[in-house]
Amino acid sequence: MEKAKAAVMPDFHRPLEIRQYPLPEEIEPGAALVEVEMAGICGTDVHLWKGQLPIPRPVILGHETVGRIVKLGEGLNADWTGAPLREGDRVGWYAGRLCGRCYYCVNKRQPTRCLKRTAYGISYNCDLPPHFLGGYAEYHYLHPGSAIFKLDDLTTETVIGAGCALNTAIHGIERMGIDWGDTVVIQGSGPVGLSALAVAKTAGAFLTIVIGGPAHRLELAKTFGADHTINIEEVTEAADRIEQVKRLSGGYGADAVIECVGMPTVVSEGFEMCRDGGKYLVLGHYGDAGATALNPHIITRKQLTVHGAWASEPRHMAMGLEFLRKHGRRFPFAQLVSHRFPLDRAFEALQTTARWAARKSVLVP
Ligand SMILES: [Zn+2]
Ligand SMILES: [Zn+2]
């Protein structure tokens, strides 16, 4: 039986280690085996490593992956959009798996909260066959029904640079809505923040302010068209950041504020940055980073609307890829890919992401 390598997280807070597992001998009808070309390291992977979500271990992390189809199961001959699919095609895929039948999938149309939702790179014990259900590996198995997308003209760096962050931002902004002419504040300059910036600008935002750091990330925010940036390493007090946002938005505060940080304390700061009748989107808290003190009076007095958005649906990934095809020149997501590591150094890659040293680290197995 042929074997292949994977970088496995044995448990929370433990170094990743290289293990070998047998490749599946048979590909089920509708399934696919993919040779991994590049796997993105998402901030969520750091949160998962810290144990902020109750996931099975050992696990192969990695939910942003591009690879080439090695073998297609019987009956799988088109991608999610209907384009013909062949062995050798370069593809990406939506990491979640939805049941399409439960209360949330059908009755309430909240498929991201599917009661049976699982996700590649998150929900599967890799000691169990088919083992290869995460991106930090030489191969990836795709179960029948996976939303696979042929990439054609899109470069691997572009797709991994945008990663799950772009789909998340599209979903979040779809829920919150941005009006033409809005002033939008984005808290956070990581991949989710930059994606939110790109989506907000194309959704009609006139003035955008990105708050984050370090400086190299804010430089990229400028490249993406941010009108103003506020460096948290220079403006260290929340009160001063709120003051700057108010000054930049005519004294009133922003129409919309998008949280893309994942630190609980920024939420109350963000409420203060909203104008009266404004809206706030909590987008960066995929991991549970704990509670924070906030004053509900502000929501009442300012008449704020607060939104949440969990991950994304396959259609958001389809929109994300279309977005990259149409706006890839304006928003050079490929430039996010800054650090490349071989599979053996996956743990180092994860640590680089944890320290915010990289724009984005990737594995090239
Ligand atoms: Zn992610
Ligand atoms: Zn469901």
Mean pLDDT, the chain, rounded, equals 96
Ligand nearest to the CA of 94: 1
Distance 336 CA to ligand 2 centre (A): 33
Distance 85 CA to ligand 2 centre (A): 26
Is the distance from CB of 209 to CB of 287 less than 8 angstroms? no
Instruction: Read off the DSSP letter of residue 303.
Output: T
Helix (H) or strand (E) holding 324: helix 314-327
In the predicted model, is pLDDT for residue 356 greater than 80? no
The phi-psi region of residue 42 (left if phi > 0; otherwise alpha if psi is between -120 and 50; otherwise beta) is: beta
In the predicted model, is pLDDT for residue 247 greater than 80? yes
CA 149 to centroid of chain Cα atoms: 17
Distance, CA of 219 to CA of 15 (rounded, Å): 32
Distance, CA of 100 to CA of 86 (rounded, Å): 26
State percent of the chain over pLDDT 90. Answer: 96
**For residue 75, how many other CB atoms are within 10 A of its CB?**
11
Q: What pLDDT score was predicted for residue 358?
A: 75
Is the distance from CB of 64 to CB of 135 less than 8 angstroms? yes
Ligand nearest to the CA of 313: 2
In the predicted model, is pLDDT for residue 276 greater than 80? yes
Is the distance from CB of 79 to CB of 201 less than 8 angstroms? no
Q: What pLDDT score was predicted for residue 206?
A: 98
Q: pTM for the complete prediction? A: 0.95
Distance 146 CA to ligand 2 centre (A): 14
What's the whole-number mean pLDDT along residues 4-18? 98
User: Which tokens go with 264?
Assistant: 């609980």
Q: Which of 210, 162, 180 is nearest to 316 (CA)?
A: 162
Kindly indicate the confidence band of residue 357, based on its pLDDT and cuts at 50, 70 and 90.
Answer: confident
Is the distance from CB of 173 to CB of 199 less than 8 angstroms? yes
Distance, CA of 151 to CA of 116 (rounded, Å): 28
Distance 121 CA to ligand 2 centre (A): 19
Q: Which residues contact 250 (CB under 8 A, 6 or more apart)?
A: none
In the predicted model, is pLDDT for residue 242 greater than 90? yes
Using the structure block, give the residue that is written with the tokens 């789909």: 167
Specify the CATH class of 165-308 in words: alpha beta
pLDDT digits (tens, 9 = 90+) for 155-196: 999 999 999 999 999 999 999 999 999 999 999 999 999 999
In the predicted model, is pLDDT for residue 17 greater than 90? yes
Task: Output the CATH code of domain 3-152+332-363.
Answer: 3.90.180.10
pLDDT digits (tens, 9 = 90+) for 106-147: 999 999 999 999 999 999 999 999 999 999 999 999 999 999
Kindly indicate the confidence band of residue 253, based on its pLDDT and cuts at 50, 70 and 90.
Answer: very high
pLDDT digits (tens, 9 = 90+) for 63-117: 999 999 999 999 999 999 999 999 999 999 999 999 999 999 999 999 999 999 9
CATH 3.40.50.720 in the chain: give the residue spans. 165-308
Amino acid present at 223:
T
What's the whole-number mean pLDDT along residues 259-274? 97
pLDDT digits (tens, 9 = 90+) for 201-223: 999 999 999 999 999 999 999 99
pLDDT digits (tens, 9 = 90+) for 196-205: 999 999 999 9
